[in-house]
Amino acid sequence: MDILTAKNSFLNYCRIAKTLSPHTVRAYQTDLAHMAAKLGCHIPVSSISRDDLRAYVGGMLQEQGLKATSVKRRMATVKLLFKWLEREETIPLNPFHRLDLSIRLPRRLPRALTVEDIRKLLERARHEAEVGGTHSAQVMHFIVIALIVTGLRVGELAGVDLSDLNEAEGVILVRGKGNRERQVYLPGATAKAALQAYLKTRAMIETESDRLLISSYGTPVTPPRIRRRLSALADRAGLTRHVTPHMLRHTAATQLIEAGVDIRFVQKLLGHASIATTQIYTQVSDTSLRSTLEQADTLGRIGGQRGR
């Protein structure tokens, strides 16, 4: 079996047997198409060696100048392909077996909004919803609140159906990565009121869609549309940073950690498979603590010790 045939068979397996989301399958398709183009579409998969994989990684990092995060993601997809080929007994030995290959990622803390930026964004969204009163403004107001209090991924929020919503309890059933289901909550009167206000305007729009979030034309609101409208809203709110839905996810997690919520609860809310992924937000909290202490400057404030 050559690489091209293996790639197509694996993608069919992901669609049919694993029932992965179209978004995930498209991502796999992109990663494996790149590998096939670089290694050769028609070479046998059984002939690919550890040296081929090392050369492929080296080419991406050195010749193509790809970021380490992109290379690591692509290699994770390639590894899934070969693991499946080995399980299907298409290849006698997985070239990833005992492969010593480490791709170091730069250590970066998640970007989150400050409390002041959160206030500005929420206030602008609320103002436009109340003053304008349009369906578009109402849906955006609810989206901003939902992302900030739940930490949902934008694709998860866009994929919520009306049947996934318990309006009275403020509970939303979400299907995350790997089709894993979890419940998220809209805590407090403000979040529930934003939901109710949006649902009132939604009920006045003719639509055949069961999606919770719909446009004024009755069509489902897509993640790209949410990204564009959130960025524009942030500009109108006077924020100088480019704001994305994922930044609001980071903001939600950071605020919960700083409020003292147990990290395992935050892990469950965000849908992280491993708590190690969630633990990075404790570092964000520590960074915030240090910044606050530096600003407090206890000795300087009370006229304390001078440097000697």
Number of domains in the chain: 2
233 lies in a domain?
yes
State the residue range of the domain holding 33.
Answer: 3-87
CATH number for the domain harbouring residue 68? 1.10.150
Task: Say which residues have a Cβ less than 8 Å from residue 28's Cβ, sequence separation at least 6.
Answer: 10, 11, 14, 20, 77, 80
Chosen domain end from 87, 103, 136: 87
The answer to whether position 302 is within a domain reads no
Same domain membership, residue 159 and residue 76: no
Residue 305 lies in a domain: no
66 with 209, same domain: the answer is no
Task: Give the separation between CA 277 and CA 284, rounded to whole angstroms.
Answer: 13
Domain contains 29: yes
Residue 94 lies in a domain: no
Residues 280 and 235 placed together within one structural domain of the fold: yes
* Sheet with 181-185, side-by-side order of all strands: 165-166, 171-175, 181-185
242: left (phi over 0), alpha (psi -120 to 50) or beta: beta
Give the tokens for residue 100. 């010593």
Give the span between the Cα atoms of 133 and 138, in whole angstroms.
7
Within this chain, do residues 46 and 192 fall inside the same structural domain, yes or no?
no
- The answer to whether position 17 is within a domain reads yes
Token pair of 216 as six digits: 């004024």
Residues 65 and 119 in one domain: no
User: Do residues 145 and 222 share a domain?
Assistant: yes
pLDDT of residue 257: 81
**Residues 65 and 152 reside in one and the same domain:** no
Same domain, 192 and 282: yes
**Active site positions, annotated:** 153, 177, 246, 249, 272, 281
| Dihedral angle of Cα 173, 176, 182, 187, to the nearest 10 degrees | -60
Which CATH number goes with the domain that contains 145? 1.10.443.10
CB 195 within 8 A of CB 186: yes
Strand partners of residue 171: 166, 185
Q: Are residues 220 and 126 in the same domain?
A: yes
235, 176: one domain: yes
Per-10-residue mean pLDDT for the chain, 308 residues long? 94 92 91 93 92 90 82 92 94 87 65 90 95 92 94 93 93 84 88 94 95 96 96 96 92 83 80 72 59 56 52
SS (H, E, C) the chain: CEHHHHHHHHHHHHHHCCCCCHHHHHHHHHHHHHHHHHHCCCCEHHHCCHHHHHHHHHHHHHHCCCCHHHHHHHHHHHHHHHHHHHHCCCCCCCCCCCCCCCCCCCCCCCCCCCHHHHHHHHHHHHHHHHHCCCHHHHHHHHHHHHHHHHCCCHHHHHCCEHHHEECCCCEEEEECHHHCEEEEECCHHHHHHHHHHHHHHHCCCCCCCCECCECCCCCECCHHHHHHHHHHHHHHCCCCCCCCHHHHHHHHHHHHHHCCCCHHHHHHHHCCCCHHHHCHHHHHHHHHHHHHHHHHCHHHHCCCCCCC
Task: Establish if 308 belongs to a structural domain.
Answer: no
Asked if 36 and 127 sit in the same domain, the reply is no
- Residue 173, strand partner residues: 183
Please indicate, yes or no, whether residues 286 and 149 belong to a single structural domain of this protein. yes
Handedness of CA 275, 121, 177, 188 (dihedral sign): positive
